[in-house]
Amino acid sequence: MMIKHQIKYLILLTFSICLFTSNAIAQDASFSQHYASPLYLSPSFTGLTDGSRLAMTYRDQYPGVSGVYKTMAFSFDHYFADYNSGVGLLYYRDDQGGGQIIDQNVGLTYAYEVYVSDQIMIRPGIQFKYAQVGIDPSNANLGGQIGPDGNPVPGAGLDVTSEMHSHFDAAASLMIYSSSFWGGVTVDHLVKQDISFTDEESFRGMKYTVFGGGKWIYKEGRRGASDQSVSMAFNYRQQHSFKQLDIGAYWMYDPIELGLWYRGIPVANEESLSNRDAIVAIIGVNVSNMRFGYSYDLTISDLASSTGGAHEFSIMYTIPASNKPRMNRRAVPCSQPGYGGGGPSRSKYRSRSRRIF
C-alpha cells in the first residue's frame, strides 16, 4: 500500500512540476484504440461513413494507483453526400489525479472529400474547439507536502492565481487513402495559450500526429463470406520534446478483429533514456451496426509492477445512409471486414460501409 501511495504522489508531483515551474509544458492523453476515436485522431476522419456514426471511448490508465488518469472521448459525425463533406462534434475529457486536474474541450470538425481517381481519395480536415483546463488546489500537493505515511500533511495545498483557463483552439489535418493503404498528418493546438495556474508561463505545445498503414487481403470472401485480411499500421506523435511511436497489426475476419501493438521508442534519446512503454492487445466484435472494443496495455517500463497497465473500452454505432451515394466511395483499409475497397467490376452505386476501428 505504501508503494502505491508513493507512486501516486510521484505522478502528481510530476504534474505539479509541469504546471507550476517556468517554461512548463502540458501534454495530451493518448488512446490505444486509435481508430475507435477517429475524430480525436484526425478531423479528416469526419464523415468517413455513408451515413452517421456515434463513437465513445473510455480509458482507465494505471488502475493499480487509484484515481490517476481517466480519459474519455465522445463523437458524432455525418457525411453529406451532396456536398462531399463530413461534419462532426467531438467532446474530450481527461481527469488527472482524481479530479485535481481536468482538461476538457468540445469542438466542431469538418472534412472535405476530394475524388482523385478510382483508387485515390484525399481528405483535408479542420477542427475548431472551446477548451478548458481547471485545477482543484485544495487537493493538489507538492512532494514536500507529503508526510512519511504517504498522505498529505494537514493544511497542505497549492497557492494558485487562477483555477480555470478557457480558450479557443484549432486543429488541421490531411489524409490520403485507397483500398489498400492510408496515411495522414494532424497538427493540433494551433492557437498558443498560457494555461499556467501561477504567474509563471505554461504553454500547451503543438501536437503533431502522423499515422498510416496498409491492408493485405490474403483470402477473399466468397458466397457472402467476409474477406480475411491483415493490416499493418503506425501512429507517431510528438508534442514539445515528448515523442511516441505505436506500431501494430490487425487481423480481421468478421465479426472478430484482433490487434497487437508496441508502444515506445526503444532507442535512447538525448538523455540516454529509452522510451519503452507498453504492449497493447486489442479485441473488437462487430454486431450488426455496432462494434465493441477492448484493449489492455501491458506496461513494460519500470512502472510495470505497480501501475496495473491500462484498460480501454470503446463502442461505435453506425447509421446507414437512407440514399445511395452518387459515386463509388472507396473503403479505407481498416474499415468493416468484407468491404475492402472493391474493384472496377463492382457497381458504381454500391453503398460502402466505411466504419473505422
Query: Omega of the bond prior to 255 within 30 degrees of 0, cis?
Result: yes
Q: Which residue type does 114 have?
A: V
pLDDT at 274 over 80: no
Q: What is the pLDDT at residue 189?
A: 93
Mean pLDDT of 308-329: 78
Mean pLDDT of 219-231: 84
Asked if residue 119 belongs to a domain, the reply is yes
Mean pLDDT of 66-77: 88
Annotate 195-231 with b (16+ C-beta within 10 A) or e (fewer). Answer: bbbbeeebbbbebebebbbebebeeebeeeebbbbeb
- Comparing 53-62, 139-148, 189-198, which segment has the lowest mean pLDDT? 139-148
Asked if residue 330 belongs to a domain, the reply is no
Mean pLDDT of 164-191: 92
pLDDT at 273 over 80: no
- The band of 15, judged by pLDDT with boundaries at 50, 70 and 90, is very low
Check residue 67 and give left, alpha or beta (phi > 0: left; psi -120 to 50: alpha): left
CATH number for the domain that contains residue 44? 2.40.160.40
User: Which residues fall within 8 angstroms of residue 306, CB to CB, at 6 or more apart?
Assistant: 3, 4, 7, 64, 65
Mean pLDDT of 239-249: 90
272 vs 295, more confident? 295
320 vs 80, more confident? 80
Of 151, 172, 211, nearest to 31 (Cα)? Answer: 211
- The band of 223, judged by pLDDT with boundaries at 50, 70 and 90, is confident
**CA dist., res. 147 & res. 5, Å (int):** 11
pLDDT at 294 over 50: yes
Domain limits for position 26: 2-320
Q: Which residue type does 17 have?
A: I
pLDDT at 264 over 90: no
User: Pairing between strand 290-299 and 256-265?
Assistant: unpaired
Asked if residue 266 belongs to a domain, the reply is yes
- The band of 198, judged by pLDDT with boundaries at 50, 70 and 90, is low
Mean pLDDT of 327-336: 51
Asked if residue 59 belongs to a domain, the reply is yes
- Give the pLDDT confidence of 124-137 residue by residue, as tens digits: 999 999 999 877 76
Mean pLDDT of 330-352: 40
Q: What is the pLDDT at residue 51?
A: 87
- Tally Cβ neighbours within 10 Å of residue 83: 11
Q: What is the average pLDDT score of the chain?
A: 78
Dihedral (Cα; 111, 356, 292, 31), 10-degree rounding: -70
Mean pLDDT of 235-262: 92
* Residue 351 bridge partners (DSSP): none
Q: For the chain, how big is the Rg over CA atoms in Å?
A: 22
pLDDT at 324 over 90: no
Asked if residue 355 belongs to a domain, the reply is no
Mean pLDDT of 298-316: 83
Can you tell me whether residue 5 is helix, strand or coil?
A: helix
**Which cell is 220 given?**
477473399
Asked if residue 60 belongs to a domain, the reply is yes
Q: What is the pLDDT at residue 142?
A: 54
Q: What is the pLDDT at residue 28?
A: 87
pLDDT at 201 over 80: no
pTM of structure: 0.80
Q: What is the pLDDT at residue 184?
A: 96
Mean pLDDT of 187-216: 83
Asked if residue 357 belongs to a domain, the reply is no
Asked if residue 238 belongs to a domain, the reply is yes
Of 192, 88, 86, nearest to 131 (Cα)? Answer: 192
Q: What is the pLDDT at residue 299?
A: 87
Domain count, the chain: 1
**CA dist., res. 257 & res. 36, Å (int):** 12
Q: What are phi and psi of 46, to 5 degrees?
A: -60, 125
Q: Is the dihedral of CA 1, 96, 266, 309 positive or negative?
A: positive
